[in-house]
Amino acid sequence: MINRLRVLRAERAWSQQDLAERLEVSRQSVNAIETGRYDPSLPLAFKIADLFGLTIEEIFTNPAKEPKQ
């Protein structure tokens, strides 16, 4: 799954640890989500979306549904 988490975090000048504390997860979890090695659970995805004031779809994108160029 493609996501904008790193960009959204950087816009707020938050470290991975800052974001992890806000989400109540480990820094390693934040890193794994940002690098696409781990897809968050639905409850965590909602928590992320709520934190940034966005919808899940505005943060996470299914690469299979991306327009082909």
pLDDT attached to residue 66: 66
Residue 21, domain member (yes or no): yes
> Is 11 part of a structural domain of the chain?
yes
The answer to whether residue 41 is domain-embedded is yes
Determine, yes or no, domain membership for 68. Answer: no
Burial of 10 (0-12, 13-18, 19+ CB in 10 A): exposed
Considering the domain boundaries, does residue 62 fall inside one?
A: no
CATH assignment of the domain containing 39:
1.10.260.40
Residue 64, pLDDT score = 81
- Asked if residue 37 belongs to a domain, the reply is yes
* 43 belongs to a structural domain: yes
Q: For residue range 1-56, what is the model confidence (pLDDT) as tens digits? A: 899 999 999 999 999 999 999 999 999 999 999 999 999 999 999 999 999 999 99
pTM score of the predicted model: 0.88
Q: What share of the chain is helix, strand, coil (3-state, %, to 5)?
A: 60, 5, 35
pLDDT tier for residue 67 given thresholds of 50, 70 and 90: low
CA distances from 32 to 1, 45, 67, 68, 69 (A): 11, 14, 25, 26, 28
Count the domains in the chain. Answer: 1
